[in-house]
Amino acid sequence: MGKFTIIKSCIKCHACTRIAEDNFIMEEHSAVIVKQPSVDYEYEECIAAMNACPIQAIKQE
């Protein structure tokens, strides 16, 4: 499983925090990754969050 990162200025659309709620939270200026996925369902949710981000700000290393 690759590590997920946020590489661009987030527009706070909340897509990732809704889709992968165990792994992404919204802070004042940006969504942040609070936990890398450690089980299959989290990994799948993080992939879905990455694909849903409207500005392609989420990347997997």
Strands (E), 1-61: 4-6, 24-26, 31-33, 58-60
Cβ proximity to ligand SF4, 14 vs 35, nearer residue: 14
Cβ proximity to ligand SF4, 30 vs 38, nearer residue: 30
CB of 14 to ligand SF4, least distance (A): 5
CB of 5 to ligand SF4, least distance (A): 10
Is 14 strand, coil or helix? coil
| Residue numbers at the binding site for ligand SF4 (CB under 6 A) | 6, 10-16, 31, 53, 55, 57-58
